[in-house]
């Protein structure tokens, strides 16, 4: 197992500084709570709301975000859990189907990017390790003022970090791409 696979396998939800990584609509602070709701998968209305909040925040109009790869690690784990329960649990069955569709959407986002770059270029332009995305230099500062946050958005993301959003998201869900081909 390489370092990235080990990172994906061993990352705990509390290891991710959610309040310092962005989603399509702001910081990812609420994602752990929504992921917990999906893990419990007990009440369909709550699961649907949590799923919608997560997916709307980590993918938007074909764009993947800083929070995407990290959220996907936990979504894939949840998927493996609900996949084993879907025969006897309607909520698990609903969630498994929705997660499969979402994983395919992420894969499509990755394939759209490699239409402009080839896969080797995406890999070579990404950070060398998935865990590098958690380096202090890439995390957003805590307690930013509105002006500081606006300035940070205007600067954008370093190219190697933004490329990593796609590359590592794909690394997490690529098993579903293999199933399609």
Q: How many CB atoms lie within 10 A of CB 91?
A: 20
Are 67 and 21 in contact, with CB atoms under 8 Å apart? yes
pLDDT at 1: 63
- CA angle at 67 for the pair 131 and 150, rounded to the nearest 5°: 110
**What pLDDT band is residue 146 in, cutting at 50, 70 and 90?**
confident
Token pair recorded at residue 150: 């606006």
Question: Pick from 104, 110, 141: which is nearest to 123 by CA?
Answer: 110
Q: Does 180 score more than 80 pLDDT?
A: no
pLDDT at 179: 62
pLDDT at 181: 56
Backbone angles phi, psi at 27, to 5 degrees: -80, 155
Whole-structure pTM value: 0.93
Average pLDDT over residues 56-82: 96
In angstroms, the CA 151 to CA 154 distance is 5
């Amino acid at each position: 197992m390489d370092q990235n696979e080990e990172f994906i396998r061993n990352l705990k939800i509390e290891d991710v500084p959610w309040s310092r990584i962005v989603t399509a609509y702001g910081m990812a602070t609420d994602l752990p709570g929504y992921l917990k709701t999906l893990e419990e998968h007990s009440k369909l209305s709550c699961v649907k709301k949590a799923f919608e909040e997560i997916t709307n925040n980590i993918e938007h109009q074909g764009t993947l975000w800083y929070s995407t790869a990290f959220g996907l690690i936990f979504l894939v784990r949840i998927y493996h859990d609900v996949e084993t329960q879907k025969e006897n649990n309607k909520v698990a069955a609903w969630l498994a189907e929705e997660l499969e569709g979402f994983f395919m959407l992420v894969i499509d986002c990755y394939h759209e990017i490699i239409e402009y770059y080839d896969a080797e270029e995406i890999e070579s332009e990404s950070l060398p390790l998935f865990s590098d995305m958690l380096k202090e230099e890439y995390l957003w500062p805590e307690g930013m003022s509105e002006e500081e946050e606006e300035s940070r958005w205007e600067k954008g993301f370093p190219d190697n970090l933004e490329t990593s959003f796609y590359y590592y998201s794909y690394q997490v869900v690529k098993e579903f791409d293999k199933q399609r081909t």
